[in-house]
Structures are given as C-alpha cells and as structure tokens.
Chains A and B, each alone.
Chain A
Amino acid sequence: MVSKWLEWLPLMWEGLLITLQVTFLSAIVALIIAGAAGLCRISRLKWLRGLSYTYMLLFRGISLLVLLFWVYFVLPFLGIELSKMAAAVLAIGLNYGAFGAEIVRSSILAVPKGQWEAAQALNFTSAQRMIRVVFPQALIRMLPPMNNLMIELLKATSLIYFITLTDLTYQAMILRSLYLPQTAQIFGLLLILYFIIASVISLLARLLERKLTAGRM
C-alpha cells in the first residue's frame, strides 16, 4: 500500500506545481484587474465607469470553462496564439477579476463619507484622499471576501484540465487510469491537497489582516 503512494507522488508533485503556478499567476492577474476595474467603476469619468460596468457584467456572466475554450481554441483563429499556461491565467484572471472588482468597489464605498470629507478639509488632492485615507481602510474590508474569492479561484483551476494542462486534477485522472482499484485513495489524496492549499491561502489572508489591523482596534 505505502509503495503505491510512493509511486503516485512524483506525478502528483508535478501536478501540484502546475496548480500552484496557475493559481498564483491568475490570482495576481485577477487582483490587478479587480483593483483597476473596481476603481474605474467609481471614477468621475462616465466612460470609464461604463467600460468597467460592461466588463464586470460580461465576465461575471460567462462560464469559466467556455471562456477558457475561447481563449485557447478560438483566439488562434483570430491570430492570437497563447500557450496553455497563458491562456489559463488570462481566462481565470479575467473571470475572477470581474468578481473581485465588485469587492473592491463595495469596500471603497463602505468607508464612511466623513473620511473623504476630513481628507478634503485638510486639502488632500482627490488622489491623495483615495491613496492615503480611503484605500487603506477599504483594503481591510476587502480581505475576507478576497480570501474567499481566491479559494474559489484555486478550486476553479481544476478546469484547466480541459485544455490539457497537467495540473493536480489531470495527474489524478492519469493515476486513476493506471491504478483503477485505488480510485478512492487517489481522489482522496486530491481532495486533501486542494484543502491544504486553500488553508494556506486563508492563513496568508489572516496574517495579512492581522498585520494591517495590528494595535488599531
């Protein structure tokens, strides 16, 4: 039994690295897009608000799997050829960025109006009001929902199996075909590995939250 587990390890390890890589890269893309779109959503410029509204509406409504297929299978016909990794990161980033943008927007709007006004009374410019006064407070509000979103994102990375990226899920499927009788153990291991990664994400979020709120409450 133990020897079987040892035989699985190299493949699972390879898959784990791919999953971590896709999760990390698409989380970064998603967070950047979320920040940009969330800020545009409350911009004074109407066209920026409209642009970001359209983006959020569109990409929240599209199935990630279909988006993945579009980016990987359809874009080449339009002359844009992406590697599997780039396609996965782009699709996941666009999809989760749209959800993240709403978190950014609502967290900024949740900062009391008096904070904006006090900053204005001290004659901060509107950019300084946002950067120095409002955003740092909004950031703390964003952390818990962003943590949830990143865990969702992690779990969604298993879809990249469908464009044959050899992530954890892909490797588990390979192993299953080699060790059919141990299907339950293999998928059990898969479950545990995702759970561990999710726990690490939560831990990081909580550490960050504690650092940002240290001594303050």
Chain B
Amino acid sequence: MDTATKEEPAFTGSVSKPHQGKPAASAVPVVSYRDVKKSYGDLEVLHGIDLDIAAGEKVALIGPSGSGKTTLGRMLMTLEEPTSGVIEVEGEPLWQMERNGKLVRANEHHLHRMRSKIGMVFQHFNLFPHMKVLRNVTEAPRKVLGLDKEEAHDRAVEMLRKVGLEDKLDVYPSKLSGGQKQRVAIARALVMRPKIMVFDEVTSALDPELVGEVLAVIKEIAEEGEMAMMLITHEMDFARDVADRVIFGADGRIVESGPPQELFGQPKSDRLKSFLSRFV
C-alpha cells in the first residue's frame, strides 16, 4: 500500500504502519461515543463511555472478559440500544433522530439508513447455512443495495478472492473449516462497504491453527486503509501489529488508551499491567 496515493495528513507515529492515517483535528470522527451508558436491568455494564474513532482509524479494544467490549460494539451495530448517551456516526446520532427540531428515539427507517455505514463480524460467524458461499455474500448487495445480479456477483467474487476463497463459491458453509467460515463472514460484511467495521473476537471460536489465516486477512484489509475498524481481540500481537490505537477497558470503563507501543511498552495503570502479564 502506497501512502502517497492517499490524501492523508502526515502522521507522526512509527513508520512501520503505512496504513496509519491520523485525521486532521477538524475532521468529523466516523464514530463518536459520548457518555454512553448501558444497563441490563439494574446492572450497569458501561458507565459513561467517551470514545472517538477517526475515519479509517484502526482501534483495538482489549480487556478482561465481561468488561463490556462486546456491548460497546453491539450498540454501534444497532443490536443493543444504549441506556443513555449519544453515539454519532459521521456526525449524526445513531439512536436518535431529529423531529420538529427535537431529538427523539430513532425509528427503524433511521436505523436502516445509519446501518449502511456500519458492518460487523461475529465470534460465531453466523453464516447463513441455507445459502452457498457465493450467495451468502451476494444476498445483501442484491436485496439491500439493489445491485443487479452481475454487479453483485463481481463484487462478491472480488471480496472472496481477497479472503482467499474464490474456489469455494459453490459450497455450503457446513463444508468449510472454521477459519474459512470466518473469512466468508468477513467478505460478506466487506462487500457492503461500511465506513466502520466491528470485529468481535473473530478468532476466539477457532482452533488455534486456524487463527493465523483469519488474522492475516484482517491485517491485509486494514492495510488498504479507508475503512475504520473496531477490533475487539485477545490477540495482543495482532493488536500491536494492526492497530493505530489500543484501548484497554475494564469493568465498563476505558482505563487506558494510546498508541500500541505506548500501551504495551509502558502501561500506566496496575489493571493494565496485571492484564498484560497474563499474555507473556
């Protein structure tokens, strides 16, 4: 990937990550959480999250299980509604819409429009078992984006080639390995060309020997640049390698955040130190 072809402001960090693009300070973040809280019943699991993700930025979200990482991603994918606070996508509230000058709860029409900018890859793939691989990837472009058959086909094949599965177009998901399934799921989400994509522990359900192939695919996509990523992961080497910024969360709060070298090199909080000590 050639940085010169991209019109990005010069970035100041290490040169080892050519995809890294720090946005100009004035640019609208692709995603912005503002004092977002989430409760399940009486239990508050997120206690006021503030987080901006710049266009094209790759943010890794790490932290102990139960800390609220999945919930944070699911609220962005509109699968879970925040209890309070605002999530903005490209400057527009996701869960609220304007009516007669007031912000009211979003209706399905608003959510549908906003969702076109967001994609998600799940831990358990969630491929459609009754569709062959190709149709898993063409169905949404055809029915949601309204592309014609050839166009959807071409786009899908391009994505499946990118994830290395152009020879599996005509098989059902049940015939694939876990790693292949997850790569199809990635292609299926990518083909919709979202502005930001949530990857929620996409390798946690895989046999160890299949983790590498999936991470390699994600890394390659990350290097292409334009799409922002929220990478929820327990793979620390991967986070260090791919992320522009790492966020460490615990108990429903963001505890520490910064460039990977800093966060992994000089962790400040005791929480993070003890969390990282489990990975060495």
Contact = CB atoms under 8 A, between A and B. Distances in A.
B227 to A, nearest CB: 15
A133 interface: yes
Interface residues of B, number: 27
B122 A216 contact: no
Contacts of B275: none
Contact of A128 (B78, B79, B143): B143
Chain A, interface size category, equals: 20 to 34
B174 A126 contact: no
Interface in A119-164: 119-126, 128, 132-133, 136-137, 140
Nearest to A137: B130
Interface stretch (B53-61, B82-90, B113-121, B259-267): B113-121
Given A123-B116, A133-B128, A114 B144 contact: no
Contacts of B77: 117, 120-121
Contact of B120 (A115, A121, A124, A132): A121
Contacts of B118: 121
Nearest to B78: A120
B79 A122 contact: no
A137 B128 CA distance: 9
B129 A216 contact: yes
A119 to B, nearest CB: 8
B94 to A, nearest CB: 13
B130 A124 contact: no
Interface in B173-227: 174, 185, 188-189, 192
Given A128-B143, A215-B172, A217-B174, A121 B189 contact: yes
Interface in B132-177: 139-140, 143-144, 172, 174
- Select the residue from A112, A140, A216 with max chain B CB neighbours within 10 A: A216
A215 B139 CA distance: 19
A118 interface: yes
Given A117-B122, A216-B172, A124 B140 contact: yes
Interface string A169-212: 00000000000000000000000000000000000000000001
Interface of B: 77-79, 108, 112, 115-116, 118-120, 122, 124, 126-130, 139-140, 143-144, 172, 174, 185, 188-189, 192
A-B CB proximity, top 8 nearest: A118-B126, A122-B140, A114-B126, A121-B120, A123-B115, A216-B172, A136-B130, A123-B144
